């Protein structure tokens, strides 16, 4: 449903006000490098109002509040501006407040969430003037993020397969088997996504490529139909081991959990660790293993798969 946005200004002079919620995401999921992504039930919530002037008022609370810029370089604002430029409309004055629940610099898609939030805010503010379809949202988000594996699940929810077609990025959303229970271990330290990506080799042995193709195909089946196959399906030879030197605590935890039979992978570029468990009891045992094998403090988050993706709500409580 499109957001119902009125033309009557708010009492404080705002032309339109929308609230956007976007989920955290975990990309790669082991073998699905730059292709597979999963939306998780941690959220950023942002409220934006537009004005017929050039103001830019930004406030941030929650994760990253001390380091996120509050000027025109803010990633959410840059994403909003990107949409307005793309559709040939003047960027309005903005008042923006972000309440960030997605941990920053931890491999849970914080930049993808920010980009997706900006794209959706622009969609809401432009509703009735410019109609943006799903393929427009994914294209615009990918232009900013550089690859679609995080922004696809952030925008659309669930398990997504994303790829670059002849005319831009495409995605397929799949429903995850109800037996899949995500668990994320989040450390106190961060990891640079650009550094992590630079550590993956540009060329790999043919047998490693074939290995990952088979595991990626199996992982789609495991997540949608056969959760009992997730341990085998999450094995990877393309990127995780190469990145291990930059985050040894993460690699150590992944290896310890997998040795005990848990489907553990590096979440995105790291350093968080994602476990795809098959129930609450399995998640509790995974937490016990993590507590026993590492001195690094990890915050364990028992999550659900988010199936909605990003949502837009206007001041009249309409949503899309």
- Measure the CA–CA gap between 118 and 82, rounded to whole angstroms: 9
Q: How far apart are the first and last CA of the chain?
A: 5
Residues 185 and 157 in one domain: no
Same domain, residue pair 198 and 248 = yes
In a domain, 11, yes or no: no
Percent of the chain whose predicted confidence (pLDDT) is above 70:
92
Domain with 33 in it: what CATH number? 3.30.230.10
Q: For residue range 286-310, what is the model confidence (pLDDT) as tens digits?
A: 999 999 886 778 999 999 999 999 9
Question: In this predicted structure, what is the pLDDT of residue 294?
Answer: 67
Both 25 and 165 in a single domain?
yes
- pTM assigned to the model: 0.91
pLDDT-derived band at 8 (thresholds 50, 70, 90) equals very low
Whether residue 104 is predicted with pLDDT greater than 60 in this model: the reply is: yes
In this structure, are 89 and 186 located in the same domain?
no
List, in order, residues 6 or more apart from 53 with CB less than 8 Å away.
93
User: Is 6 a member of any domain?
Assistant: no
Residue 86 Cα distances to 50, 132, 308, angstroms: 18, 11, 26
Do 164 and 260 sit in the same domain of this protein? no
Domain assignment of residue 298, yes or no: yes
Given a cut of 90, whether residue 55 has pLDDT beyond it is: yes
Question: What average pLDDT does the chain have?
Answer: 91
In a domain? residue 294: yes
CA–CA distance, 119 with 291 (Å, rounded to integer):
39
Contact present, 59 and 46 (Cβ < 8 Å)? no
Total of domains in the chain: 2
Q: Give the domain range for residue 276.
A: 181-302
Query: Is the confidence at residue 56, as pLDDT, over 80?
Result: yes
Tokens describing residue 165: 């077609």
pLDDT at position 2: 36
Say if residue 254 is in the same domain as residue 227: yes
Same domain, 166 and 203: no
Report pLDDT digits (tens) over 198-226: 766 678 889 999 999 999 999 999 999 99
ω into residue 271 within 30 of 0, thus cis?
yes
Burial of 295 (0-12, 13-18, 19+ CB in 10 A): exposed
Same domain as 96, residue 218: no
């Amino acid at each position: 449903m499109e957001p119902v946005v009125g033309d009557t200004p708010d009492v404080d002079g705002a032309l339109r006000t929308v609230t956007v919620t976007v989920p955290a995401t975990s990309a790669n999921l082991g073998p699905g490098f730059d292709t597979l992504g999963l939306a998780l039930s941690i959220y950023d919530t942002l409220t934006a109002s537009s004005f017929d002037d050039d103001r830019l008022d930004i406030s941030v609370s929650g994760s990253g509040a001390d380091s996120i810029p509050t000027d025109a370089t803010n990633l959410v604002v840059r994403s909003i501006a990107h949409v307005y430029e793309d559709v040939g409309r003047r960027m309005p004055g903005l008042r923006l407040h972000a309440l960030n629940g997605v941990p920053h610099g931890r491999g849970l898609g914080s930049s993808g969430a920010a980009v997706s939030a900006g794209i959706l805010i622009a969609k809401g503010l432009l509703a009735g003037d410019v109609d943006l379809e799903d393929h427009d949202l994914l294209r615009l988000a990918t232009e900013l993020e550089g690859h679609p594996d995080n922004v696809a699940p952030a925008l659309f929810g669930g398990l997504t397969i994303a790829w670059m077609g002849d005319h831009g990025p495409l995605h397929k959303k799949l429903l995850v088997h109800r037996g899949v229970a995500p668990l994320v271990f989040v450390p106190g330290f961060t990891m640079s996504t650009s550094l992590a990506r630079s550590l993956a080799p540009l060329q790999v042995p043919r047998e490693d490529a074939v290995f990952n193709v088979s595991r990626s195909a199996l992982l789609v089946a495991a997540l949608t139909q056969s959760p009992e196959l997730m341990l085998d399906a999450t094995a990877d030879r393309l990127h995780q081991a190469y990145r291990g030197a930059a985050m040894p605590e993460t690699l150590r935890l992944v290896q310890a959990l997998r040795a005990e039979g848990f489907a553990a992978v590096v979440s995105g570029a790291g350093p968080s660790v994602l476990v795809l468990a098959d129930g609450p009891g399995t998640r509790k045992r995974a937490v016990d293993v993590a507590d026993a094998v590492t001195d690094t403090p990890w915050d364990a988050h028992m999550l659900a798969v988010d199936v909605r993706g990003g949502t837009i709500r206007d001041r009249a409580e309409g949503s899309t």
